[in-house]
Every structure is written in C-alpha cells, then in structure tokens.
Homo-oligomer: A and B are copies of this chain.
Amino acid sequence: MQPADHQGQELYRFLAQNGLINVNNDHQLSAMQSFCSSSSNNYSYYPLEVSGVSTEHDASPQDRALAALKNHKEAEKRRRERINSHLDKLRGLLPCNSKTDKASLLAKVVQRVKELKQQTSEIAELETFPSETDEITVLSSNDYTSDGRIVFKASLCCEDRSDLLPDLIEILKSLHLRTIKAEIATLGGRIRNVLIVAADQDHTIESVHFLQNALKSLLERSNSSERSKRRRVLDRTLVL
C-alpha cells in the first residue's frame, strides 16, 4: 500500500507519458522525475535504499540521515539539470554559439526579450485600417536603435489626398527623422499612415512635439481644402 502522494505522482506520470496532460510546470515535472528516477537509480554510494515503500520505517537515525542526504543530493542534481536544459533551449533559440557562458547567454536573452516585446507591442498597436475619425498619434516607445537613436511611432489617419505623402516626407526630412518603417493603408478614400521613425539622441523630445504639430497642421490643411463626405466602399467586418 503506497502513500497517497505516491499514487498521485504515479497517476500524474501516467497522464504525462500518454500526452493526456500538459507538462509545462517545472514543479510538477520535478516531482514526477523524482518518483521515476528513484525507482531506477543508476548508482548508490549510500547504504540505504531510499526508493519505494521501505523508506518510512525500520531505519536507524544515521541511516535515515544518509538517506536524506542522498535524496537531497539527487534532487539538487535534478534541479541543476532542469535549469541547464532550459538554458540549452535558450541557446538554441538565440543567435549565439553553444559555447557562450550562462551569464552572457542570459544577458542576450534579456536583451532579446526586450526587443521582441517592444516590436510586438508596437505591432499590436497598429490599426490595420483607416478609421472614420481623423486622428494623430505620436508615441515614443522607450526603444532605441543599435546606434542609440530613439525610436517612436507616428500614426496619422485622415481623408486621402495625392500630396499627403510628399508633404509627410518633407516634414520628416526637415525634422531629421529617419524612417525605419512605413505602413500605408487606404480604404474608401481614407488613409492611415503609420510611421516608425528614429530621431537623433539630442533632439528626441523636441522632435516628438514638432512632429505632432506638423502632422496636426497637415491634417487641418487636408480638412480645409476638401470637405468631401466619406464613402466607405469596402466592408470593415473583415477585421476580426
């Protein structure tokens, strides 16, 4: 008759091995491995057999202590292996050698996660289609290029007109902003323009405000020149 938690572990192991549950929790996994490895251990420097049901009783104090020590040692080894296996996965995932040391590897991971987080959050913010209302967004992410220039996002949504982009380009040029990425989407006479731009280190905050004002005037110019009512020829329900 086994203790209740051993039954639980065996059940867990069974489920995991048959793919009936997901094993993404390292706590559960280590408990599982502990159970498995103790029932088929490869070596034994220590006198007492720890595995199975015989652990609980008929053991002298020093034997019990040794057994505990062995248990502890093995558990620690498993913990190390667990951690190192994850580190190896990360090595494979990143553009780096398999021979980079742990600290540098983790440093790269931190850097990479930051980058990716920024990128995806930027993307998530992107509105695919032009909206019905005019709007301007200038958002400075705390993001930097490899050469130290600050990166931010500018979004402009308004009625479409032919000289909008030339004007926009002129604005960017005058502000010494470098366009990293530009997305343009037009829909039913409306246009949405999302720019990812990089500014010099010296003029970051000023550039943001200048750009915002410039875009605002651009939008007002657009509105005053033509006041055509908006026709939406395409179905926006495509976005889901």
Contact = CB atoms under 8 A, between A and B. Distances in A.
A79 B93 contact: no
A104 B26 contact: yes
Contacts of A111: 24
Interface in A92-119: 93-94, 101-104, 106-107, 109-114, 116-117, 119
Interface string A13-28: 0000000000011110
B169 A107 contact: no
Contact of A184 (B114, B129, B233, B240): B129
B128 A103 contact: no
Interface in A212-240: 233-235, 238-240
Q: Which residue of A24, A94, A103, A179 has the most chain B CB atoms within 10 A of its CB atom?
A: A103
Nearest to A198: B240
A152 B239 CA distance: 16
A83 interface: yes
A93 B106 contact: no
Size category of the A interface is: 35 or more
Interface in A51-98: 79, 82-83, 86-87, 89-90, 93-94
Interface in A101-147: 101-104, 106-107, 109-114, 116-117, 119-120, 123, 128-129
A183 B183 CA distance: 10
Main secondary structure of the interface of A (DSSP, over half): helix
A163 B90 CA distance: 46
A128 B166 CA distance: 18
Contact of A89 (B102, B110, B119): B110
B110 A83 contact: no
Given A27-B101, A129-B184, A181-B239, A120 B119 contact: yes
A187 interface: yes
A30 interface: yes
A204 interface: no
A182 interface: yes
Nearest to A25: B104
A113 B113 contact: yes
B117 A103 contact: no
A165 interface: yes
Given A106-B87, A110-B86, A93 B120 contact: no
